[in-house]
């Protein structure tokens, strides 16, 4: 068993609010309120604050914290980021997956500080870095950092719906909170800055490999990574001019000339065709299927974009190509070009690079955990400031949701004691029918998901069912502990 899986049950046993309450919020009271919000929300992540918090006074305190100009999402996330760094140190080696997503908020009234999104509505973008363990298993460790930003509103105003447009002069009635909203960054900057800050924080403490999709294929990012010797696997988007053995060629052509080093099966996830990334690129629709892919590799020197020269100056990278020699009819064929610092001498090493890139599904799931699991997009707060703050507090909760779900997928046959205490297992056995005496993780989690309303014939459990079942377990466990306390107290009388 890897170091990560040895630690999982301990991480799960720590209440998630504990790390939040240790954040740098500048005042003990704020820490207590932040911890309280997370404690209550983690019991029911889709509930509104009004429903999650018990009384008027704590609700009042929560709103005051979220709207406090002196408290930003970076502060609210700081405890979670520090705890994630510690978990990364415990496992020693991790992948850091970077990606961007947008949060879109419905409704007809403008919320201060929000900007245009790629679909109708108002919202903001989040660029995040998720750490997962690197040795064999992909166990989510948490968020190592994020950047939140909005796009500026253009001269035509903001379209909130098919019949609702807010003109720029109307926005001034709700002036954006200028100090809090970073300007729309140049595409490259956020990829670069987040990687840089993680490299600084990890230096000498743990190893990491940065994983990025095609949006991360930016010369400045590759250059900076090479300069501070960061390791990476980045999917190439651009067919750059490149040198190979002194000859000037192009990246994709060079990769396509290489013979296959082997073949393997991979699972492709479903993708809806309409989805447009915030960068404006669209992807064709894809059905979930198993694909037989071939892979090959070579080395290349990427030519600096502004140099026209034919002398090999640029960035030395290893290049891996993954492609589908015989795609099924009417389905787009897989073809990835991966730029990497990782070794590619043997077929096994090349496959390892492919596997590292494939760990990217975890960040997609993490974003789903925030959107579906924590219902961030239906929250009613009225400004970017409050919405980004509640999102900062939902990050550690979403990590917990993801951890449970990822374990169900990656460790189905591991003993359930990996994630549950003996007392919890006793309760699961009470709640579920026909659970074997030493259940596997998938059996125990499956039993909980069924308590949460999951039907076996619908495939693997979703966010809601798994979490509802897990929450029921926590509730019953609380009751159990109360009863034990009462019993021991009455004995002492």
- Binding residues for Mn ion, rule: CB under 5 A, are 99, 213, 215
How far is C-alpha 105 from the geometric centre of its chain's CA atoms? 20
Minimum CB distance to Mn ion, residue 101 (Å): 8
Residues in the chain: 493
Minimum CB distance to Mn ion, residue 98 (Å): 8
Instruction: Name the residue nearer to Mn ion (CB basis): 342 or 364.
Output: 364
The two tokens of residue 341 are 């610092």
Minimum CB distance to Mn ion, residue 118 (Å): 12
Inter-residue contact 381 to 422 (CB < 8 Å)? no
The whole-angstrom separation of Cα 493 and Cα 487 is: 10
Instruction: Name the residue nearer to Mn ion (CB basis): 215 or 408.
Output: 215
> In three state form, how does the secondary structure of 446-486 look?
HHHHHHCCCCHHHCCCCHHHHHHHHHHHHHHHHHHHHHHHH
Instruction: Name the residue nearer to Mn ion (CB basis): 231 or 283.
Output: 283
Is residue 479 classed exposed, middle or buried when 0-12, 13-18 and 19+ CB atoms within 10 A define those classes?
Answer: exposed
Minimum CB distance to Mn ion, residue 106 (Å): 23
Show Cβ contacts of residue 219 under 8 Å, excluding neighbours closer than 6 positions.
240, 302, 304, 305, 315
Residue 385 backbone phi and psi in degrees, to 5: -60, -50
The whole-angstrom separation of Cα 391 and Cα 374 is: 9
Instruction: Name the residue nearer to Mn ion (CB basis): 190 or 244.
Output: 190
Instruction: Name the residue nearer to Mn ion (CB basis): 264 or 283.
Output: 283
Instruction: Name the residue nearer to Mn ion (CB basis): 137 or 213.
Output: 213
Minimum CB distance to Mn ion, residue 360 (Å): 9
Minimum CB distance to Mn ion, residue 279 (Å): 8
Nearest Cα neighbor of 265 from 329, 354, 353 is: 354
Instruction: Name the residue nearer to Mn ion (CB basis): 100 or 298.
Output: 100
| Number of helical H runs and strand E runs in the chain | 16, 14
The whole-angstrom separation of Cα 434 and Cα 28 is: 47
Minimum CB distance to Mn ion, residue 305 (Å): 21
Kind plus residue range of the DSSP H or E element containing 261? none
Show Cβ contacts of residue 265 under 8 Å, excluding neighbours closer than 6 positions.
290, 291, 292, 293
Bridge partners (DSSP) listed for residue 98: 129
In 228-360, which residue ranges form alpha helices assigned H by DSSP?
251-256, 347-358
CB-CB neighbours of 414 under 10 Å: 17
Instruction: Name the residue nearer to Mn ion (CB basis): 21 or 128.
Output: 128
The two tokens of residue 130 are 């998720």
Minimum CB distance to Mn ion, residue 100 (Å): 6
Minimum CB distance to Mn ion, residue 395 (Å): 18
Instruction: Name the residue nearer to Mn ion (CB basis): 63 or 219.
Output: 219
């Amino acid at each position: 068993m890897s170091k990560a899986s040895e630690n999982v049950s301990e991480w799960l046993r720590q209440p998630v609010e504990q790390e939040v309450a240790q954040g740098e919020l500048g005042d003990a009271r704020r820490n207590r309120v932040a911890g309280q919000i997370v404690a209550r929300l983690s019991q029911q992540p889709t509930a509104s604050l009004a429903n999650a918090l018990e009384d008027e006074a704590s609700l009042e305190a929560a709103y005051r914290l979220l709207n406090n100009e002196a408290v930003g999402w970076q502060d609210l996330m700081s405890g979670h980021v520090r705890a994630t760094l510690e978990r990364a140190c415990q496992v020693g080696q991790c992948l850091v997956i970077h990606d961007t997503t947008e949060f879109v908020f419905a409704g007809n009234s403008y919320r201060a500080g929000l900007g245009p999104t790629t679909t109708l509505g108002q919202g903001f973008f989040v660029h995040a870095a998720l750490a997962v363990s690197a040795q064999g298993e992909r166990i989510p460790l948490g968020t190592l950092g994020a950047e939140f930003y909005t796009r500026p509103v253009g001269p035509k105003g903001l379209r909130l719906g098919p019949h609702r447009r807010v003109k720029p002069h109307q926005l001034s009635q709700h002036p954006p909170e200028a100090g809090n909203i970073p300007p729309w960054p140049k595409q490259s900057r956020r990829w670069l800055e987040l990687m840089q800050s993680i490299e600084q924080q990890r230096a000498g403490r743990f190893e990491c490999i940065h994983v990025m999709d095609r949006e991360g294929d930016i010369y400045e990012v590759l250059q900076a990574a090479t300069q501070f010797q960061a390791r990476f696997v980045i999917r190439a988007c651009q067919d750059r001019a490149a040198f190979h053995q002194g000859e000037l060629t192009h990246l994709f052509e060079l990769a396509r000339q290489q013979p296959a080093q082997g073949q393997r099966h991979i699972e492709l996830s479903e993708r809806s065709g309409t989805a447009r990334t915030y960068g404006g690129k669209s992807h064709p629709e894809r059905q979930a299927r198993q694909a037989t892919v071939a892979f090959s590799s070579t080395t290349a020197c990427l030519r600096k974009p502004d140099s026209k020269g034919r002398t090999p100056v640029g960035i030395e990278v290893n290049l891996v190509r993954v492609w589908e020699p015989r795609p099924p009819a009417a389905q787009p064929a897989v073809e990835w070009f991966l730029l990497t610092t990782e070794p590619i001498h043997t077929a096994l090493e090349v496959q390892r690079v492919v596997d590292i890139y494939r760990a990217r599904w975890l960040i997609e799931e993490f974003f789903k955990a925030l959107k579906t699991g924590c219902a961030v997009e239906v929250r009613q707060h009225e400004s970017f400031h409050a919405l980004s703050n509640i999102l900062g507090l939902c990050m550690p909760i979403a990590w917990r949701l993801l951890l449970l779900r990822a374990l169900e997928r990656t460790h189905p046959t591991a003993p359930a004691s990996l994630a549950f205490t003996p007392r919890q297992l006793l309760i699961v056995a009470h709640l579920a029918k026909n659970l074997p005496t030493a259940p596997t993780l998938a059996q125990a989690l499956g039993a909980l998901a069924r308590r949460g309303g999951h039907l076996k014939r619908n495939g693997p459990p979703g966010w809601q069912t798994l979490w509802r079942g897990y929450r029921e377990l926590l509730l019953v466990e609380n009751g159990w502990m109360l009863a034990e306390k009462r019993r021991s107290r009455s004995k002492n009388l």
